[in-house]
Amino acid sequence: MFQISAPIRSHRALRPDIFFLELEAPSIAEKAQPGQFVHIKVSEGFDPLLRRPFSLHEIKGQEGTLGVLYQVVGKGTKLLSQRQAGEEIDLLGPLGKGFSLNFSGDHGVLLGGGIGVAPLFPLAESLISAGKKVTVLLGARSEGLILSREKFSGLGCRVLVTTDDGSLGEKGNVIELLKKYLTDHPVDFLYACGPEIVLAHVDRLGVERGIPGEVSLEAMMGCGVGACLSCSCARKDENETGKKYAKVCSDGPVFSFGEVQIHGC
């Protein structure tokens, strides 16, 4: 883990409340793995006091840059959205446990709900580089909230889209799309990130159908390094050390299907 002052290379709005932030952070970019995150000090003062966690949407180790895709949802992200190229941002990283990149078979499915697509792009890059076949299922309320579709397609992924209002792709939710896909296609490993209710359904489907996979959880974090316990969630079963709780920031944010109780995290 490094604490650095990272220059902002670029910062732009993709939608009125969706932003892409590119940072020059060679020490972190060299070590970061898909599914890990950075903890950013969003203001130059003490309000808000706590850092905010952000998934890594791009990891360019050779170029020494990181990309963060985020949505403005509160005071902290609003302040971050006002930062300009050329300024420097204090960040910690890389943090947390990332996705598993090796699995039996050759077909991985990535499911992203809304802004939950953020950590899945570097995962798709790594799987494609390893020779895996990758299918991406994207879901959101409407067309304007479907993110990074072209980026995934550009990697060679098959991309299927569903929207609640039918403005893009099939009409319906991403869990319905997943169920249909699992009926028609063999899947060797399943990854998901998105709203908690979506992850709960994916986790249950994976366990019921015997498909191995992982979910990336989101949680409010104080320290980001496992010290404050503010992001603890219950394990479904005690692990070998007898621990009944897991810390999303350090034991996760990526967990295997059936490992933790997603509701209540």
Whether the Cβ atoms of residue 160 and residue 169 lie closer than 8 Å to each other: yes
Q: Does 94 carry a binding-site annotation?
A: no
Element containing residue 214 per DSSP (H, E): strand 213-216
Q: Is 193 annotated as a binding residue?
A: no
- Residue 70 assigned to a binding site: yes
Residues 6+ apart with CB under 8 A from 227: none
233 among annotated binding-site residues: no
The CB-side HSE value for 212 (13 A sphere, CA atoms) comes to: 12
Is 119 part of any known ligand binding site? Answer: no
Q: Is 54 annotated as a binding residue?
A: yes
55 assigned ligand-binding residue: yes
- The residue type of 235 is R
| Cis peptide bond N-terminal to 7, omega within 30 | no
Q: Answer yes or no: are the C-beta atoms of 125 and 151 closer than 8 Å.
A: no
53 assigned to a ligand binding site: yes
Instruction: Return the number of other C-beta atoms located less than 10 Å from residue 69's C-beta.
Output: 22
Angle at 212 between CA 208 and CA 213, to 5 degrees: 110
Distance between CA atoms of residues 146 and 33, nearest Å = 24
Spatial CA neighbour of 110 closest among 168, 204, 20, 177: 177
Q: Any binding-site annotation on 252?
A: no
Q: Is 265 annotated as a binding residue?
A: no
Q: Give the amino acid at 80.
A: L
Q: Is 71 annotated as a binding residue?
A: yes
Annotation: binding site: 52-55, 69-71, 76-77, 223, 228, 231, 249
Annotation: binding site for FAD: 52-55, 69-71, 76-77
Annotation: binding site for [2Fe-2S] cluster: 223, 228, 231, 249
